Structure 1
Amino acid sequence: MTNFAFFLPVMFSTFALLFLAISRLGPAAAPFWAAGFGCAALGFWAPAIDQLLPSPAWSLLADALFACAFLAYSEALLVRWCARWLLHVRLFITVGAVLGCAVAILLQLPLLELAVSDAASFVLIALPLVAALPHLRNRLDQALALAALLVAFDGLSRLATLLVTRGSGAFLDSVYFFLMQAFASVFGLFLGLAALAGCMSELIARYRREAELDPLTQSLNRRGFDRASVGAHDRKGAVISCDIDRFKAVNDRFGHQSGDQVISAFARVIMAHVPEDARVARFGGEEFVIYLPGADLAKAIGCAETIRQAFAATGAEAARIDHVLTASFGASAILADDGSIYDALNRADRALYDAKNNGRNQVCAASFLRPIAARPVGDGLARGIG
């Protein structure tokens, strides 16, 4: 009944090494998965060592390793769903399980030792499932929860059938030992693959975000904007095109590092004054575009004016330069017959150029009904253009 004697530690060691390698790439749960599978691998080696060097210490070491493995599994699951949840409780269960197993070994009560170990394993892997219930929105989380549930069920079923499966013979020849290794092979493989898929999906999502973000401002780049605004022309909305005034003079006078600080300050002002569902993108240099889902032209003008005033008031201080900073804005509504959001952006760009040509530091809006002369409305308020 020792057909799994070498397969299990090799399999769990392989998963441990895989997660250890993946942890260098950033997934938060990967180090805990590596620790869990590593402890489990060492725990499965213990019976083989015990055959060569019989000692109660090997049994206690295996119990401690399995308890630590399930603690690490629970932490890995909770990093994905509810980090640090009931950590003190789980630590108490782990330490209590090791102490309970030590007492059982000293009293020579093998059934108690197995019962304590199985009960602790069940509780440690089952607790995260309670925290996971509100978070099971995608198939990967559901698969991971199912794998953890099967592992928990395995521990509970062993605990429930302990008196029958353990028997009175040698532990390594018992039905209990065979079932433990058989189900650990199947459910451990499932858990490892589900956890691996979860970590890889996190990596892919992170790389996708990085590919769609401007590294200087953490706003969207053009690729990210295209993806975030798919189908925008089929819905009500508005766009704003904006540009820092006389930005070349900032670079020439203060250097490109200060220029980058100005761009970053402008991006922060924009993102601080747009609605939560807005999409902000840097299209290159000092030029930004804003997509406002569901907004009309009046709301876009108001949003642009708020950003204009905030940047004029705080931009220089935020960028840490002694220089007057202003920006110009063009706004346009998205029309029902637009082929894409770029039709609206082209109109917003023309309005932006009008703002530049009429003195900068102002908001201009594209008019779609009839050509009208540009006219100021207050200090820097919207102007209409044909």
Structure 2
Amino acid sequence: MGSEQRVVIAEFYTTADRVLVFLISPDADEPECATVEIPRQQLREVAEGFQRRLRTTSAADLTDDALVRLMEPVVRWVRPGDMVYLVPHDVLHTLPLQAIEVDGVSLVDRCPVATVPSASVLRYCGFKRKGKRGNALIVAAPPDRRPLVFAREQALTIAQRFAGHDLLLGGEATRAALIERAGSVPRDVLHISSHGVFDSTNPLRSGIELADGRLTAEDILGLGLDVNLVTLAACESGVSLRRHGDELVGLARALLYAGSPSVLVSLWPVDELSTTMLLDRFYERLAKGLGKAHALRDAQLWLRGHTVRDVLAHAAATRSRLSDDDVSACAVHLEEAALLAMVGDYPGAARTYRLVLALAGGTVEQHEAAHLGAVRMDLIGDAADPAFDTLAFADPYHWASFILIGDWL
């Protein structure tokens, strides 16, 4: 997977009435080009509809014919196993292009995929590549009125993947501590699990909420990051403002310019349970020597194949480690109840919702959700042969939100 890896670039350029798709490969004298007759405004409407449905239904619908036609040339050109770089343009920066299916198969089914804002940034990221160092700085679960209940568990699990690690958890996850530790020792990974904020009016004020305030994109531009990868396990950490000339301004671009050759970020608000499972698998594969793009592809396909039975077992194991934390235990129970309801085990879901009500330390919001859930399950009635072998995270909402930007290796 080193010098023998075939790397290709698929670059998109939108115009008023069509999209130009270019493929650059090492064995062609000049780029191949395809013209897809899709007006820019239509693409923008499709992307807006995708984001709107995502937020209202937690489902990622990528079946629109315009999206399928957009990816057809790429799927036709690339070979299985190629390392594919996608260079989006305009509104395409907001879509998980790698998850769009052509004839029932997505690009990520065939190839590892990474994204870059432009071909010139790809060269810059390659120059910044570092060797393996076997250590990580993990920042997670700063105090917040909306606690990320899986963040602490996620941090402790990820820490076990590295021979050396520094942990900043809870109240220790401050701006000052992160800035100090980030520049103190060369590292493989800087992993941050917290709430992300995108400021569309001033994207340099976008950032990550920490115990003592927001670490902004502007702050990050002032850092000298000696890391090989930064992971932002936060909602919409990969969203950027597009300026004239398709220049992107946001957290991901700031991290690349601060010195990281690669960033792993999300395109939309993520589900905590599926994100925790995805990232743990990603780091496991990274620790076994896979490149970042290959590790991400492996984790996405692995997560997509999990049944409800599998995920319930994972959730139960997680809950057993959270016995002294009612808020976290309630959060896991709510995830379990939703899964049981999804497969038709309504009595089981009702019982699980009532377990939340029995935990006095849960939040008001958790108890309200559990009360409504229990009433709804009681009204539905008996189970009708629950389908526990249903795939729990088959929807791209769960497995396609994270994209790797920058160096693939």
User: If the length of structure 2 is used for normalisation, what is the TM-score?
Assistant: 0.22
Higher relative contact order (CA closer than 8 Å, sequence separation 6+): 2
Q: Which has the higher strand share?
A: 2
Q: Which has the higher helix share?
A: 1
User: If the length of structure 1 is used for normalisation, what is the TM-score?
Assistant: 0.23
The structure that has the greater radius of gyration is: 1
